[in-house]
């Protein structure tokens, strides 16, 4: 059971907006920054968003991140077929003294 | 450009020791602005952080509680790499193992190795 809670799936038609939530606690999201990763089948996770809302170089502007209190979210606007992937949130946990991840959200483009 | 290249056996027998190595290029294992981590991924456990090693005037290690009694992460400055050893493995340890760099400060997991599928089976 993952420390951070994400919905297992999300979907949208091309061009639509999809939002993925990530819920944590005061010891992780509430006290540290959130990273978001995209994982395509058979590949390592790729850093998409760091420090809550900063896009990694080369990541399209349609990806955006935000954080409020003990929750964070990733939004994909103008959904494209190549955005079909698994998305994970992560943060450092001060109580566990380790990095914690969400279970991942599978995004499907209809 | 930073690159992490993993190597290690893909099959380990139960009760034996799992070993994976991560060779670093473009950065130093002794960097004061990074920590070198091991993370694994399996269908049953998802992404699980295992531990890290880092240098801040001396070497430090942190390990996840779930594997603390069985894990060792070691830097090798002569080869600019670090390694994971997990003892007394069971089929539950079957997973894809990744090495990853985490920046300091910021705790950004910005570079990952390619992953090593390790299967624990007799």
A-chain residues near B22 (CB < 8 A): none
d(CA A73, CA A20): 5
pLDDT in tens, A21-73: 999 999 999 999 999 999 999 999 999 999 999 999 999 999 999 999 999 99
pLDDT in tens, B49-105: 999 999 999 999 999 999 999 999 999 999 999 999 999 999 999 999 999 999 988
Q: With bands split at pLDDT 50, 70 and 90, how would you rate the model's confidence at A7?
A: very high
The per-residue pLDDT of chain B, averaged, comes to 96
Taken as a whole, chain A contains a residue count of: 110
d(CA A72, CA A61): 18
Biggest CA–CA distance in chain A, Å, is 41
Name the one residue in this structure whose structure tokens are 């920046």: B103
How big, in percent rounded to 5, are the helix, strand and coil portions of chain A? 5, 50, 45
Q: Is the dihedral of CA B70, B85, B24, B45 positive or negative?
A: negative
**What's the gap in Å between the CA of A60 and the closest CA on chain B?**
17
Name the one residue in this structure whose structure tokens are 């079909």: A84
A-chain residues near B109 (CB < 8 A): 35, 37, 45, 47, 90, 99
């Amino acid at each position: 059971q993952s420390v951070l809670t994400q919905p297992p799936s999300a979907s949208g038609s091309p061009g639509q907006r999809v939002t993925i939530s990530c819920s944590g606690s005061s010891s992780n999201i509430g006290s540290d920054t959130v990273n978001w990763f995209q994982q395509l089948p058979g590949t390592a996770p790729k850093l998409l968003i760091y420090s809550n809302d900063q896009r990694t170089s080369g990541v399209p502007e349609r990806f955006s991140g935000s954080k409020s209190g003990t929750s964070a979210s990733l939004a994909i606007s103008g959904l494209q077929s190549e955005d079909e992937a698994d998305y994970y949130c992560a943060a450092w946990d001060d109580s566990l003294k380790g990095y914690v991840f969400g279970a991942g959200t599978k995004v499907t483009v209809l | 450009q930073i690159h992490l290249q993993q190597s290690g056996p893909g099959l380990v027998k139960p009760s034996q020791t799992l070993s994976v190595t991560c060779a670093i290029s473009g950065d130093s294992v002794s960097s004061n602005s990074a920590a070198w981590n091991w993370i694994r991924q399996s269908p049953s456990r998802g992404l699980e952080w295992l531990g890290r090693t880092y240098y801040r005037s001396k070497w430090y290690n942190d390990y996840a509680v779930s594997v603390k009694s069985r894990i060792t992460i070691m830097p090798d400055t002569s080869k600019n790499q670090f390694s994971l050893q997990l003892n007394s493995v069971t089929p539950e340890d079957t997973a894809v193992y990744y090495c990853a760099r985490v920046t300091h400060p910021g705790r950004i997991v910005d570079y990952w190795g390619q992953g090593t599928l390790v299967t624990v089976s007799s």
